[in-house]
Every structure is written in C-alpha cells, then in structure tokens.
C-alpha cells in the first residue's frame, strides 16, 4: 500500500509530506482547493505523462516520491527482478522529477529507470479511477486475467499453461526436424551419387603410394631389363664370376700349407665373395624372371591413380581419406532414412500434445463460462443501489483463432455493458456519462476486489452528481472494498466521507501573498466539522453537526 507521498514544487504545492494508512482514506475540500493536484502528483510518480505546467512557478523542477509497502505476491517483485533492481527490505520507492522545460527523469529505489518501466511498476501498485480516465479495467487485455483470478482457476490455468508449453516444444522440435530433413533431402541425390561412385572405385588404404611406386617402376622397365641382362652377361662370361672365384680360391688352397698362413685371409675373403656373388646372381635372375612375367600395364596403373586423385580433389580430401569419406557419407544416407521415421514420431508427439492442450483449454473454457455467469450476477447485484439498475453487464467469452492460442487457453474475455434498455452490450467505454462510468467501475472493483493484485485504489469523485441513498451506497461499497485494499477517494459527498477510516482535508491557503495547497489530517472532532460543512455549506449549523454525528455513527 501507499505509505508516504512527498511532493515538491508541483503547481500550488511547495513542500508537502503525506502519510497514509490502510483501509479507506477520504480527501475532502472546497472545489479548487487542489485535490486534483494531489492526484496529478501521484500520477507523475506512477509514470504518467509529465507536463512542464506541473512545475511550480519560479521552481527549477518538480519532484514527487511515493513510498510503498509491497508484499511478495505483488507483480512489482517480478518486474524488479527482471530489471536487476534490488528490492528494499521495507518496500518500494518510486520517484519522478520534471524540469521547467518539461524534461523528466524516473527512479526506482534510487536507481534511474525508463519512464515506461516506472509506469509498469506504478500500474502494479496503484490504480486511479477518474472520470473518463484511461483506466486499466477499460483495457480488454486485463479482463481475462481478472475473471480467471475471480473464479480461482489457478489449477486449470497451470494445467493449460503446461500443456501449451509442451505443445510449443513439440512444434519447435518438429519444425527443426523438418528443416533439417529438407536440407538433407536436398543433399540426398549428391550423397547417393558420391557413395555409388566411391563404392565402384573401392579405394584402399595406402593404395596411392603403392600405385606411385608401380608407376615409377613401369616407366623405367625397359632400362631396368637391359641393365639386368647386361649384368647377368657380365657375371656369366667365361667361367662366370662364381666359377672364377672358386678357381682362385682352389689355387690358393693348394699353396696354403706352404704359405704359413699368409693366404688364409685371402682364401676366407674369396669364400665369402663366392657366397655373395651367388646370392647376387640369384637375385638378378629372379628379377629377370619377374620382369619377364610382369604383365602390368602402365596406362592401366596411371588410369587408376588419376581416378583416385580426381575423386579426392572433388571432395576436398587426400586419397588416403577416401575410405573414411565413403563410410561418413554412407552414415549420412542412413541418417536421412532414419530422419523420416524420426519426423513421423515427432508428428505423432505433436498431435498428442495438441490434443492434450485442447482438452485442458476446453475444460478451462467450460469453467470460465460458469465463472462468467457468477461474475455477471455479482456485478448486477451491485448496480441497482448505484442508480444503474437498468444497466446490463456481460462477460463475453469468444474462442480465438488458432494463431492466437496461448498459455492462457483459447478464449478472449471482454467485459461489456449496455446502459440503456434494448441496446446490445458493448465495450465499457461506451458509457458516455463520467459519473455512470465511475460508479460502474466501483461496482466492478467491489466484485473483483479479491482477484486484483493492485495494492492501492484511487477514486476521483466516484460520487459525482449523486446524493442521498446512492451516495450512501457508494460509500458503503468503498468501505467494503477497503477491507481488501487500500482505498483513497476524493469526494464531495458527506455520506462517503463519513465512511472513511482516515480523513484528509485539502484547502488553499495564502502564504506571503501566494496561494498554496495544504493538506491536514483530521481528528474526530475536525471530521465532524468538515462533514457538517459538506452538509450545510459555508454556514455550519447545529442541525448539520447532528446530521454529521448521525453519519459518523452509522
């Protein structure tokens, strides 16, 4: 609730610090005393439009600070958290300044904020009901929330919200899967061609190196054959190298006994040479045989090598990675085939989630219809005592197009009214009379008191142009409303003023030749005099005081 309101240099107010209490607080005073200035100042702190004309003449700027006691359930707590603003232990402080040239600044808990954010917080804390004001109840966006809260549909709302979120998740998963499948489908033809091409090519690991070696060999085959043949001719000439070495060794062995060991090393070396020469000759003969039987065709080898390299270039890999590429592309093709089943599964899940949401939303709609009937009856019961007995209030529920379905279900809820018999109900702003509109809003607020999270309600002359029993009915309903919320009411009606638990009198005074607005809290005796003045006018009589006593005791 609003605890304190500090006003500096706003129109006729120089310096004013007001303290408020819970329950019903009435503000009274002569016409022109400055009651509307207080409401303008409060509206400024709530983020309403700033105007340089609000700055007191001669002042550099105007300033208004509103101090609230905020329970944790109020929406302002979430708003503060979203903006990263630390809450105060004992409440919430909203402040606004306006300079003489019309520039304004906004602060929340002494931290600078945007005016739009200040307005959001202000709407969560205070609702001002004035004649022809752009009131929150006029906005259709609030009607469904208020009716749901009035009907205590929290459990159904939670079920519907969760069902919608699950459906939304399924829709998103299906959309992403469909997009992925569309992309992969576009690549499928390429993948199939590439896999078939690689399968036909059948690349082997290390094949390129082996082909390069074979190609090099085949390119020099003739020279190699000639060299091997010449070498064999030389080695086989005469006795052959092996025979010559053996003969030389035998000659030395015959003389070895007489040589006293001087030829032993030479004989051993010749024996080793015989072995090496024999092995070399065998190797050359084997190579000659291999070359004779080598049927590889250089053109065929080069064709294979160039084919492997061409495919590798096309895919941007080296030849040795072609085998791995083939495995990867085969897996991708398998995934495309699996994605069709995955997509079908997601479609089934999405359909099930949609059905679950529709069932939850239908149950919510059915309960809303029942709640709407109760709400209409409750509001109708409040209208007759407020001289609105011929008016008809209707809560209209309309099924939304699927594109507008959401966490709150499938319904649009609109409060409608017909003030004249025979006329079809229409939007609340059809009420042309300011007094009728104010009383209609009072009736709605009385019925919806427990459903609205707004902490403080302000009514500006809700009793305008009525008196007697109707004014008493207005006062009685304001008092009932004040049991649920803090209510501030600006009134000219003694019947309403007498209902107040806290009474402020607004008056214009002359200070140093300058008109100023002052506000005084009234004691019981002062309240009696003020209500008597409201009854009798400028000349307060004993009869008026007695009537004031009667109102206060009632």
Note down pLDDT in tens along the chain; length 554 residues: 999 999 999 999 999 999 999 999 999 998 888 888 898 899 999 998 888 899 999 899 999 999 998 876 678 888 888 888 887 877 899 999 999 998 999 999 999 999 999 999 998 889 887 654 546 677 788 899 989 999 999 999 999 999 999 999 999 999 988 887 777 777 777 888 888 888 888 888 888 888 887 777 767 666 766 676 777 777 777 667 777 777 777 877 777 777 777 778 887 887 888 888 888 888 877 877 766 656 556 678 888 888 888 888 988 999 888 888 888 888 877 777 777 788 889 999 999 999 999 999 999 999 999 999 999 999 999 998 988 888 889 999 999 999 999 999 999 999 998 887 778 888 876 775 677 787 888 888 889 887 877 889 998 878 777 778 888 999 999 999 998 889 999 998 999 999 999 999 999 988 877 888 999 999 999 999 999 999 888 788 889 899 998 998 87
Of 142, 101, 128, whose CA–CA distance to 46 is shortest? 128
Contact in structure between 89 and 139 (CB atoms under 8 Å): no
Contact 357, 160 (CB under 8 A): yes
pTM for the full model? Answer: 0.66
The H-or-E segment that residue 413 falls in is strand 411-418
Domain locations along the chain: 177-337
| 461, 488, 495, 505, 524 from 552: Cα distances, Å | 20, 18, 9, 16, 9
Contacts of residue 69, defined as CB under 8 A and 6 or more positions apart, other chains included, come to 1, 3, 90, 91
Between CA 353 and CA 368 the distance in angstroms is 22
């Amino acid at each position: 609730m609003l605890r304190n309101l500090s006003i500096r240099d706003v129109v006729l107010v120089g310096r004013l610090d007001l303290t408020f209490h819970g329950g019903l607080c009435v503000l009274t005073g002569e016409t022109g005393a400055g009651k509307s200035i207080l409401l303008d100042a409060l509206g400024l702190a709530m983020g309403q439009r700033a105007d340089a004309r609000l700055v007191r003449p001669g002042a550099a700027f105007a300033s208004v600070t509103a101090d609230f006691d905020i329970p944790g359930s109020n929406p302002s707590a979430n708003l503060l958290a979203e903006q990263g603003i630390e809450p105060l232990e004992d409440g919430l402080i909203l402040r606004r300044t306006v300079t003489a040239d019309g520039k304004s600044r906004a602060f929340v808990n002494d931290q600078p904020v945007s005016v739009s954010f200040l307005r959001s917080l202000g709407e969560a804390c205070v609702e001002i009901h004035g004649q022809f004001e752009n009131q929150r109840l006029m906005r259709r966006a609030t009607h469904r929330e208020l009716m749901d809260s009035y009907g205590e549909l929290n459990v159904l709302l939670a079920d519907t919200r969760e069902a919608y979120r699950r459906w939304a998740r399924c829709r998103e998963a299906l959309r992403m899967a469909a997009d992925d499948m569309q992309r992969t489908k576009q690549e499928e033809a390429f993948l199939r061609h590439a896999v078939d091409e690689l399968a036909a090519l059948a690349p082997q690991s290390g094949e390129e190196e082996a082909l390069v070696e074979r190609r090099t060999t085949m390119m020099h085959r003739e020279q190699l054959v000639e060299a091997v043949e010449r070498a064999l001719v030389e080695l086989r000439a005469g006795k052959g190298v092996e025979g010559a070495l053996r003969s030389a060794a035998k000659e030395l062995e015959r003389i070895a006994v007489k040589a006293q060991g001087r030829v032993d090393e030479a004989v051993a070396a010749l024996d080793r040479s015989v072995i090496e020469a024999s092995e070399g000759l065998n190797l050359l003969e084997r190579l000659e045989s291999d070359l004779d039987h080598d049927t590889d065709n250089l053109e065929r080898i080069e064709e294979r090598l160039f084919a492997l390299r061409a495919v590798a270039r096309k895919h941007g890999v080296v030849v040795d990675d072609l085998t791995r590429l083939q495995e990867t592309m085969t897996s991708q093709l398998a995934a495309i085939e699996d994605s069709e089943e995955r997509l079908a599964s997601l479609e089934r899940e999405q359909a099930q989630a949609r059905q679950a949401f529709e069932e939850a939303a239908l149950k919510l709609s059915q309960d809303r219809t029942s709640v709407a009937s109760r709400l209409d009856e409750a509001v109708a019961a409040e209208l007759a005592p407020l001289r609105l007995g011929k008016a008809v209030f209707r809560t209209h529920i309309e099924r939304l197009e699927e594109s507008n379905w959401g966490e709150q279900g499938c319904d649009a809820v609109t409060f409608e009214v017909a003030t004249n018999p025979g006329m079809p109900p229409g939007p609340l702003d059809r009420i042309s009379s300011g007094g009728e509109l104010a009383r209609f809003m009072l009736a709605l607020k009385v019925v919806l008191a427990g459903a609205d999270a707004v902490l403080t309600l302000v009514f500006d002359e809700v009793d305008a142009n009525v008196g007697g029993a109707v004014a008493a009915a207005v006062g009685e309903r304001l008092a009932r409303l004040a049991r649920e919320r803090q209510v501030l009411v600006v009134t000219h009606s003694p019947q309403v003023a007498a209902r107040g638990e806290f009474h402020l009198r607004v008056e214009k005074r002359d200070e140093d030749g300058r008109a100023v607005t002052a506000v005084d809290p009234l004691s019981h005796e002062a309240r009696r005099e003020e209500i008597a003045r409201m009854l009798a006018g400028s000349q307060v009589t004993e009869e008026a005081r007695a009537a004031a006593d009667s109102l206060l005791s009632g």
